[in-house]
Amino acid sequence: MELYDVVIVGGGPGGLSAAYSAYQNGAKKILVIERDRELGGILQQCIHNGFGLHHFKEELTGPGYAGRCIDLIKDKPEIETLTDTMVLSVSKDKKVTAVSPDKGLFTVQGKTVILTMGCRERTRGAIRTAGERPAGVFTAGAAQRMVNMEGYLPGRKIVILGSGDIGLIMARRMSLEGCKVQAVCEICPYSNGLTRNMVQCLYDFDIPLYLSHTILKIKGRDRVEGVTVAKVDEKMRPIPGTEFDIECDTLLLSVGLIPENELSMAAGVEIAPFTNGPKVDQRRQTNLPGIYAAGNVVHVHDLVDFVSDEAEIAGKFAALEAQGTLTPAVDTVAVMPANGIRTCVPQVLHLPEGGEPVRLFMRAGAPDRKVTLEVKCGDEVLVKKMLPVVKPSEMITLDIPAAKTVLMHDKIEVGLRAK
Amino acid sequence: METKVMNCIMCPMGCEMTVTLENGKFVSVTGNSCPRGARYAETEVTDPRRMLTTTVRIRGGLLPLLPVVSADVLPKGRIADCVAYLRNVTAEAPVKAGDVIVHDILGLGVNIVASRDM
């Protein structure tokens, strides 16, 4: 069985950034396994721009960002990549079994493994919309791949459910391709997409956005003919008497993303509540020694730049562990989301002697303005940061210097305080 | 004096800015956190511009479509014309990211370039 320093499952931006970081940190034999026909992951179908401002200090398209990540790892003898290769299992003892048309079924042994499988879209089944099962109901991402890579239009008259970024981006994309986007419906009283996408994708094309509205029924038997929409109350229950119909031949669903963790769970990786991804420490190590995780498989990010940042952390520590130079942890500190914070990654800190710099990635529970983000240990505030605006759709990051982590014991609380 | 509230789209921060206008002319802006925001606010009220990302057909590539991007922002009002023009453009593989696919589209002074290698 071939032995690698680091085996990386998934060749999207997470996997590629992890591979490059592992290489930079001294790993000599790195394998990236990707199930698609090429590297780059979902970025290859995200042809719009706006990627890379943080990570590459330059505004790039999705394929442009993917290209940068691929360029960083190609022609490096230390990094091997396999495409068209599906990982079937990852074991606790870091054996990775995969299958491909070229190599058949095979198993490799990793000194460490990094899980970067990303996430997938919630489908109609996940939101249980009533109606027949006509053609014309797609997830926004599936439609994006058809339009941007395969060269097909899923329909002509479109309704989009969900105002997440993929939904908004597809509203513009379909409009540019000559389709009529009838409406975007959002069950929340606020949009779940980035502000720039609201402006560029909806306002620019005069597409109506129905906040606090959902789709009750999909009409049509062979093909979608329309949807029945209703207003919802503050508990997201449809309000009787508010129903109206919108004619369409296609319904695109942008109703959330699920970290893709079947492999992680089968390996015995502990999954955290709310994020639905592996519970990780500040080095992105899971509960299983030597198995790391980063990117959208851990928690859904808003920006790919943060996926790369996080994957670099995982790549670095996996490489150090593979070389036997990882500083051992002497302290365990639990990270607890408190007031106003819904999720925080990492969920636990394993701190070495002298502490270690920690970057926290958080999501707020509700939109708010002018709040202070505080990291507290007991009654003592260790770090704080003013935030002019918080939105559930936009991730909050906070860097904690090593000197502050030394002051932590038992558990820390991360919360928002109103001004 | 009139004021206009807008969201900056220069980066994902999405700063909420207040622009002050006098007789339709830009006077000042508040709420931006960087100089790019101030520039955006001024052009958005006088001459709105957008980046364009779309696809063109490609012959001999891994995929039937090549993603392309405008090398700079285009007048918002001409985006639809540019898309219509690109509908009739076919690129030839191999293409490198950054290769010019359409030079000076519709005389607007902006090139359309490939987003990726293919």
Chain A residue with CA closest to B52: the answer is A48
Q: Percent of chain A at pLDDT above 90?
A: 89
Nearest Cα of chain B lies from the Cα of A199 at a distance, in angstroms, of: 7
Phi, psi of B52 (to 5 degrees): -120, 125
**pTM exceeding 0.80:** yes
Residue B100: other Cβ atoms inside 10 A: 12
* Span A379-384, average pLDDT: 94
Task: Tell me the CATH architecture of domain B2-47.
Answer: Single Sheet (2.20)
Across-strand partners of A329?
A: A352
Contacts of B53 in chain A (CB under 8 A): 47-49, 61
Residue A320, SS3?
Answer: helix
pLDDT given at position B1? 82
Half-sphere exposure of residue A38, counting CA atoms within 13 Å on the CB side? Answer: 17
Closest CA to A168 of A197, A137, A199, A205: A197
Q: CATH 3.10.530.10: which residues of chain B?
A: 53-114
Q: Does domain B53-114 have CATH number 3.40.190.10?
A: no
> Order of strands, edge to edge, in the sheet holding A180-186?
A137-139, A250-253, A157-161, A180-186, A209-211
Residues of A in contact with B8 (CB under 8 A): 195-196
Q: Do A64 and B97 touch (CB under 8 A)?
A: yes
Number of residues that this document lists for chain B = 118
Contacts of B65 in chain A (CB under 8 A): 148-151
The pLDDT-based confidence of A101 (bands split at 50, 70, 90) is very high
A162 confidence band (pLDDT: 50, 70, 90)? very high
pLDDT class for B104, splitting at 50, 70, 90?
very high
Q: Tokens for A363?
A: 């999501």
Contact status, residue A291 vs residue A267, Cβ threshold 8 Å:
yes
Residues A227-273 have pLDDT tens digits of: 999 999 999 999 999 999 999 999 999 999 999 999 999 999 999 99
Does the pLDDT value for residue A161 go beyond 90?
A: yes
Task: State yes or no: pLDDT of B72 exceeds 70.
Answer: yes
What sections of A74-213 are H helices per DSSP?
Answer: 124-127, 140-145, 165-176, 195-197
* Residue B69 Cα, gap to closest chain A Cα (Å): 8
pLDDT of A139 over the 80 cut = yes
ipTM of the predicted structure? 0.89
| All CATH 2.20.25 domain ranges in chain B, comma separated | 2-47
Q: What is the mean pLDDT of residues A342-360?
A: 95
- Give chain A's domains with CATH numbers: 1-121+257-326 (3.50.50.60), 123-255 (3.50.50.60), 327-419 (2.60.40)
